[in-house]
Amino acid sequence: MRRSQRELICGIFLLFLAFWLPGCGPASYLFPPTTPAVSPREAEENLFQQAEESYRRQVYRQARAQYGSYLERYPQGQHALLARLRLAELVGLLGDWHDSLRRYQALLAREPQPDIALKARYGVGRAYFKLGQYQQALQVLENLTAGELPPDLRFSTQALLTEISLKQGRVPQAFARLRLAAQDLSSGDKEWFDDLKTRLVEQATPQELENLATLYRDSPLTAVLLLRLANLAQKAGNAEEVQKWASTLKERFPESPEAAGMERLLSGQKVLAGCLLPLTGDFSNFGRHVKQGMELAARGTPLELSFRDTPNNQEAAAQQVRELARDPRVLAILGPLGSAAAQGAAQAAQDAQTPLIALSQKEGITRAGDFVFQAFLTARQQVRALLHRTSGMGLKRHAVLYPDSAYGQAFMRQFLEEASVQGVEVVEQTPYSPSTRDFAPALAALKAAYRPEQGSPSFEALFIPDDAAAVAAVAGQLEEYGLKNLQLLGTNLLQAPDLPDAEARALEGVLFTDAFFAQAPSPGVQDFIAAYRQQYGETPDYLAAQGYAVVKLLLKALEGEQTRQRADLSRRLLALREFPDLPWFKGFNADREAELSLYVLTIKNGTMQLAQ
């Protein structure tokens, strides 16, 4: 092409752009703007703030990993010292107080700025306390109180000194420390303060209570001493002493919560718990089982249960929580079962500062805040126990065949995460329609991944998170597709009370887990089963057992409680540990999720039994 022709074409094109582009919108339609690059300083700040958000939400394992990533990339970054401080605390909260102490001491060796140094010194004292080295902790913390401290740290230091005095059996010293902590309560942890107050009066002898009530006559803290004295007198059947301490309390502290507690003590008023369960509709049978377990546990106790029919609807459950929370007699809320309902109820309970123990498998429910607990067998707990079992059997390669439903997807995700933690390989993940009974396409996909012709099959175990009918249907077709000698794995949906003979034969040898097993030899389990059968004429399932358990947990947390305030209950629940009545309950973890002892079960010769 000659030069004049090229110039003419270019001119026409430029003229076209000049006239066309203004009428058709901005030129960015042809040349979209590039996303501005994030500066190194912004990248650093973003990474640190992600860790801070996890820390604030109490997702401690995630926060620990994020702070670690920050320090790997920015060891001398602007937040490096604070990140090291956070890590020192987190490794302790996650159970390793020796490493926590080492990290705090290493941080102090860097001579950080005063605010970081003060918190690190407090951390050293706390780590010594957690390790049972009370004298070292006492020395560090008392030295800390000799200087100027911000109010929140001053509160924490005096509260921890109270803890040490209680551990050493020095009740008067503990009371004096707690009075100092009370001066900064507005900047401190009220739940911790209330828990210390409760434990102090429970540990004190009657003589110590009287001496302290006399010595600190006008201290607001004395009200709880007087209420405790009245309670002890009532238990001893000494009506005259009860009236004496009641009159003293009402005279000195008429507006105190303890005065209201005294009124309840004198009137014998029951504690009220709201219970959110599906009592009508498709899931009413599940709700009925939970309700019966709850009623059995509450029978003959000072706990009254108020049941609400709760659909699996987020806003409906939240509204029921708000209504219950407005009643000052309601101390806690139990339930709901459904995932959506639990999500709405959890946030509403946290907003209302009312303890809630959710009975839902949904992961992350407790992230709503420190008033929310979860006491139900989760997908994570089940797959963890299953993979631990199969690893012990030498099975390291697995496949997952799952229904493409919320339930199946949740179990599939948890299986992948836990397999990664335990060093197990998941070589295939195949979904199927949750409503189908035609598993041919899914089994064909599994067969393609199985590859036995290459020497050894690519997987040795198959996990199917579905009900007994679906798993049995799959199991009956495995051999037809050349899928032989696989260890079948399932969830607690396989523990069906009336399993048909054909399904039982198909499920021979399957492994699954559950937190409740009616044939377990534990006296606590057998006592519960006997009482349930006598009351309702049927054998309880896991749902009934969990309804029973959650009420028992609440009653256990109320033992010795004097003021029975909502703010006290969360810490008392968190402090619960395993006890004979509930052998499957081990305690609540740092995320306020119940840790459960699981049975590994199987089907052998057509009957359900403990796996050997």
In the chain, the amino acid numbered 562 is Q
Which pLDDT value is given to residue 584? 84
| Whether pTM exceeds 0.75 | no
Query: Does 60 share its domain with 114?
Result: yes
Query: Does 497 share its domain with 387?
Result: yes
Q: Domain boundary at 148, 164, 182, which? A: 148
Query: Does 366 share its domain with 388?
Result: no
In the chain, the amino acid numbered 133 is Q
Structural domain including 421 reads: 379-514
pLDDT digit string, tens, across residues 87-134: 999 999 988 999 999 999 999 999 999 999 999 999 999 999 999 999
Query: Does 464 share its domain with 383?
Result: yes
Q: In the 3-class helix/strand/coil scheme, how is 324-392 assigned residue by residue?
A: HHCCCCEEEEECCCCHHHHHHHHHHHHHCCCCEEECCCCCCHHHHCCCEEECCCCHHHHHHHHHHHHHH
Which pLDDT value is given to residue 2? 43
Query: Does 386 share its domain with 347?
Result: no
Q: Domain boundary at 148, 173, 199, which? A: 148
The CATH number linked to 444 is 3.40.50.2300
Which pLDDT value is given to residue 267? 66
Query: Does 394 share its domain with 366?
Result: no
pLDDT digit string, tens, across residues 549-591: 999 999 988 876 545 678 788 888 988 988 777 888 999 998 9
Q: Domain boundary at 374, 405, 423, which? A: 374
Q: How far is residue 431's CA from residue 442's CA, in Å, rounded to a whole number?
A: 7
Query: Does 473 share its domain with 385?
Result: yes
Give the number of domains in the chain.
3
Nearest CA to 340 out of 323, 358, 322, 353 is that of 358
Which pLDDT value is given to residue 354? 95
Q: How far is residue 178's CA from residue 462's CA, in Å, rounded to a whole number?
A: 57
Q: Phi and psi at residue 277, in whole multiples of 5°?
A: -140, 150
Does some domain include residue 423? yes
Query: Does 465 share its domain with 398?
Result: yes
The structure tokens listed for 415 are 């299986």
Query: Does 450 share its domain with 480?
Result: yes
Does some domain include residue 457? yes
pLDDT digit string, tens, across residues 38-60: 788 899 999 999 999 989 887 88
Give me the residues of the chain with pLDDT under 50, please: 1-33, 35, 562
Residue pair 155/188 in contact by the 8 Å Cβ criterion: yes
Give Cα 137 distance to the centre of its chain: 29
The strand order across the sheet containing 372-374 reads: 303-309, 271-277, 330-334, 356-358, 372-374
Which pLDDT value is given to residue 453? 59
Q: How far is residue 422's CA from residue 445's CA, in Å, rounded to a whole number?
A: 26
The CATH number linked to 71 is 1.25.40.10
Query: Does 399 share its domain with 509?
Result: yes
Does some domain include residue 261? no
Query: Does 285 share its domain with 384?
Result: no
Residue pair 292/546 in contact by the 8 Å Cβ criterion: no
In the chain, the amino acid numbered 215 is L
